């Protein structure tokens, strides 16, 4: 659709009527908003016909391109049957099928799915369930949570309480419950001759020491497995997850894996957790790619042990949490179409080959004098740009757009997280654009 004859430009109208997320609105006095008319594959087209390659998958949600014919068809079919029904007291085919399939695909033992509408609500659900689990077990003093330095788990007040990104957190600190932070296993923290596994081991030692001291008051540890996204694509060795799992089991603390960003193939496996040689976490939080970037949906998968602790005649032992759109039928149907694509196109194997080819394509670029710490995990490529520009991320965003690329650096970390349908040619264009940005940074 177009916006009918309003007054003024798109820019002015959107600035007045729409309060845009994660934005100082005054910035848009000088930086134009980009009005998108259409999407197709990995490309977005504005009303003037300019095309932008969606190198960040629209904030990490898109997997198989915009206006994907198969996901479109699934949603259209579902529209003819049922758009939504409340999930308290009612159920429907897409939510049952999705819960069973997620349970079968996730690390073993996560057979119960509770739904929310976005990532932050999934984190809230996992935190509340973990606390309530211990409450029901007669241990109401276990109220604390532990997260990693640089963690990001969303921006509602509960999720922000376990988030350690100053930009999002500091202003609201007086509103937040202070939870413990332990060192990040970020491989770039290596000292001397340490490799990534050794850094992970050292960070795990610190977690273990913390739990030894505080386990009686700790409900759960929450981690972003393999890649801490929002802090700047900090990557770690799966050994950390093995040690964290063992430490939580030993000390009677629940473990929450926040795979909101890493899930659905981003790190090379369907879920990042699979790369650790260890039993499942107690909670797996999923969102972002779950509907291929179509509709808001999140899920928290958990175990029989957690589910059973709530199962009783007493209503207050139940998990009395709800969101209006819990288990929305259209969103579940989109998620089922996404899982069909993974299966039918053997996406994970294709991505392994793509990831390897694209890494090779970046070999020369990684040696650019202004590029540091090139790293990759599956379909996430990240590197630091050395620059004196104080406004690098804004400048880079504008430079990218001028070259037909949607790039949104995190500080000086530039990353590519393209949709999985990206071609080698498109990826080559992306690398060329990054080359020009590095030359001028
Ligand atoms: C994006 C993200 C969230 C929050 O999800 P929203 O849908 O933005 O609320 C939580 N955790 C991680 C790891 C994320 O990347």
pLDDT number for residue 32: 85
| Residue 160 in tokens | 């922000």
Q: How confident is the model at residue 311 (pLDDT cuts 50, 70, 90)?
A: very high
Q: Is the CB of 127 under 6 A from ligand 1?
A: no
Residue with tokens 């490529």: 381
Q: What is the mean pLDDT of the chain?
A: 96
Is 6 a residue whose pLDDT tops 80?
no
Is 7 a residue whose pLDDT tops 80?
no
Q: Is the CB of 119 under 6 A from ligand 1?
A: yes
Q: Is the CB of 293 under 6 A from ligand 1?
A: no
Counting atoms of ligand 1 from 1, which one is nearest the CA of 288?
Answer: 7
How many helical (H) and strand (E) elements, i.e. helices and strands, does the chain have? 14, 16
Q: Is the CB of 124 under 6 A from ligand 1?
A: no
Strand partners, 46: 36
pLDDT number for residue 12: 84
Q: Is the CB of 260 under 6 A from ligand 1?
A: yes
Is 237 a residue whose pLDDT tops 60?
yes
Determine which of 14-28, 203-217, 221-235, 397-411 has the lowest per-residue pLDDT on average.
14-28
pLDDT in tens, 248-289: 999 999 999 999 999 999 999 999 999 999 999 999 999 999
How much of the chain, in percent, has pLDDT values that exceed 90? 94
| Residue 353 in tokens | 């080959």
Sort strands 405-406 and 380-385 into parallel, antiparallel or unpaired: unpaired
Cα-based distances in Å from 172 to 163, 165, 221: 11, 12, 22
Mean pLDDT (whole number) for 347-371 = 98
Mean pLDDT (whole number) for 5-10 = 65
Is 336 a residue whose pLDDT tops 90?
yes
pLDDT number for residue 4: 60
Helices 329-344 and 93-105, packing angle to 10 deg: 40
Length of the chain: 441
pLDDT number for residue 8: 65
Spacing, Cα 116 to ligand 1 middle (Å): 12
What is the fold, at CATH topology level, of the domain defined by 72-344? 3.40.640
Q: Is the CB of 118 under 6 A from ligand 1?
A: yes
pLDDT number for residue 427: 98
**Biggest CA-to-CA distance, the chain:** 67
Q: Is the CB of 123 under 6 A from ligand 1?
A: yes
Three-state DSSP class for residue 296: coil
33 vs 426, higher pLDDT? 426
Mean pLDDT (whole number) for 218-241 = 98
Counting atoms of ligand 1 from 1, which one is nearest the CA of 298?
Answer: 7
pLDDT number for residue 128: 98
User: For domain 55-65+352-440, is the CATH number 3.40.47.10?
Assistant: no
- Distance, in Å, from the CA atom of 375 to the CA atom of 359, rounded to the nearest integer, reads 9
Is 319 a residue whose pLDDT tops 90?
yes
pLDDT number for residue 9: 81
Is 405 a residue whose pLDDT tops 90?
yes
The whole-model pTM stands at: 0.98
- Distance, in Å, from the CA atom of 265 to the CA atom of 417, rounded to the nearest integer, reads 11
**Shortest CA distance to 244 belongs to which of 216, 290, 276?**
276
pLDDT number for residue 10: 79
Q: How confident is the model at residue 1 (pLDDT cuts 50, 70, 90)?
A: confident
pLDDT number for residue 5: 55
pLDDT number for residue 14: 87
| Most informative mutation of 122, 258, 273, 287 for ligand 1 (most atoms within 8 A of CB) | 287
Instruction: Please answer whether residues 184 and 228 qualify as being in contact, where contact means their C-beta atoms are separated by less than 8 angstroms.
Output: yes
Spacing, Cα 159 to ligand 1 middle (Å): 9
Structural domain boundaries in the chain: 55-65+352-440, 72-344
Q: How confident is the model at residue 30 (pLDDT cuts 50, 70, 90)?
A: confident
Q: Does 55-65+352-440 match 72-344 in CATH topology?
A: no
Spacing, Cα 1 to ligand 1 middle (Å): 29
């Amino acid at each position: 659709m177009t916006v009918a004859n309003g007054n003024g430009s798109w820019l002015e109208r959107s600035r007045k009527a729409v309060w845009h997320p994660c934005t100082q609105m005054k910035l848009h006095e000088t930086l134009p908003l980009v009005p998108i008319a259409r999407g197709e594959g990995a490309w977005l087209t504005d009303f003037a016909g300019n095309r932008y390659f969606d190198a960040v998958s629209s904030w990490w949600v898109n997997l198989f391109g915009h206006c994907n014919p198969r996901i479109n068809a699934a949603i259209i079919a579902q529209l003819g049957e049922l758009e939504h029904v409340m999930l308290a007291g009612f159920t429907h085919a897409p939510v049952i099928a999705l819960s069973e399939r997620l349970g079968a695909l996730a690390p073993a033992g996560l057979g119960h799915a509770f739904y929310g509408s976005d990532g932050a609500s999934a984190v809230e659900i996992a935190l509340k369930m973990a606390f309530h689990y211990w409450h029901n077990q007669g241990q109401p003093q276990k109220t604390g949570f532990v997260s990693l330095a640089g963690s990001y788990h969303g921006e509602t007040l509960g999720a922000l309480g376990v988030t350690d990104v100053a930009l999002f957190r500091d202003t609201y600190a007086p509103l937040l419950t202070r939870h413990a932070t332990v060192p990040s296993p970020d491989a770039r923290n290596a000292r001397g001759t340490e490799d990534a596994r050794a850094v992970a081991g050292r960070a795990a030692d610190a977690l273990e020491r913390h739990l030894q001291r505080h386990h009686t008051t700790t409900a759960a540890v929450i981690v972003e497995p393999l890649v801490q996204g929002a802090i700047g694509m900090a990557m770690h060795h799966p050994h950390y997850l093995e040690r964290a799992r063992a430490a939580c089991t030993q000390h009677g603390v629940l473990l929450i894996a926040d795979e909101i960003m890493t899930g659905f193939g981003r790190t090379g496996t369907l879920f990042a957790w699979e790369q650790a040689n260890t039993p499942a976490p107690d909670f797996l939080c999923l969102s972002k790619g779950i509907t291929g970037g179509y509709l808001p949906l999140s899920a928290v998968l958990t175990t029989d042990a957690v589910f059973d602790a709530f199962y009783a005649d007493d209503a207050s032992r139940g998990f009395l949490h709800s969101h209006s759109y819990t288990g929305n039928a259209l969103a579940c149907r989109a998620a089922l179409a996404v899982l069909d694509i993974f299966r039918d196109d053997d996406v994970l194997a294709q991505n392994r080959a793509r990831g390897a080819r694209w890494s090779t394509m970046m070999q020369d670029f990684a040696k650019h004098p202004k590029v540091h710490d090139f790293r990759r995990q599956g379909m996430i490529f990240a590197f630091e740009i050395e620059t004196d520009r104080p406004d690098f991320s804004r400048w880079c965003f504008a430079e990218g757009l001028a070259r037909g690329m949607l790039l949104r650096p995190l500080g000086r970390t530039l990353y590519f997280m393209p949709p999985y349908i990206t071609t080698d040619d498109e990826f080559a264009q992306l690398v060329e654009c990054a080359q020009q940005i590095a030359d001028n940074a």
